[in-house]
Chain A
Amino acid sequence: MKRFKINRNYILPAISIVFLTMIFVIPFFTTLTKSFISTQGDSTVIGFENYRRLFSHAFFSQMTCNTIILATAVPITIFISLWIVYYFSNNRNLLHLVRVVSLIPYILPIIVYGFLVSYVFGYKGSANNLMQWLNFEPREWLANHAATMTIIISIIIWASFGQGIFIFSIAIQNLNKRYIQLAEVDGCSRMQIFFKIIVPNIGKYILFFSISLFLWCITGAFPLIQILTNGGPGYMSTTLDYYTYIKAFLSNSDYGVACASAVVQLLIILCFFATVITIRVIGKKYHVAS
Chain B
Amino acid sequence: MNARNNIEEIIISYIHHESSNLDDKKFQDILEVEPETKLILTEYQKLDKALKSIPIKQTSELFTDHVLQNIVKFKKSKPRSKPYSFIFSLAATVLVSFLFLYQYTSSSVNDQIVPITIDLPIIEQKFVTLESKELDALDWLSQVQESNGSWVGDEWGENNQYTIGLTCLSLLAFASIDLNNNNEMYLNTLKKATQFILSAQNQNGSFSQNAEYQLYNQGIATVALFKVNYLIPQLVPREALKKSINFINSCQNKSGGWSYHQDLATANSSVSIYLIKSLQLAKENGFIDLDERINTSLIWVKNLISKNDSVSYRNANVSLFDQNIMPVGSKISQLNENMLSDIDIEFKIKFQENLERIALEPEKKLNYYQFYLLTSSIKKLKEMRQFQLAKKIEAILTNKPNVSNQLADGKNHKQYGKITGNRIYSAAMATISIASLN
Please determine whether chains A and B interact with each other in the same assembly: no
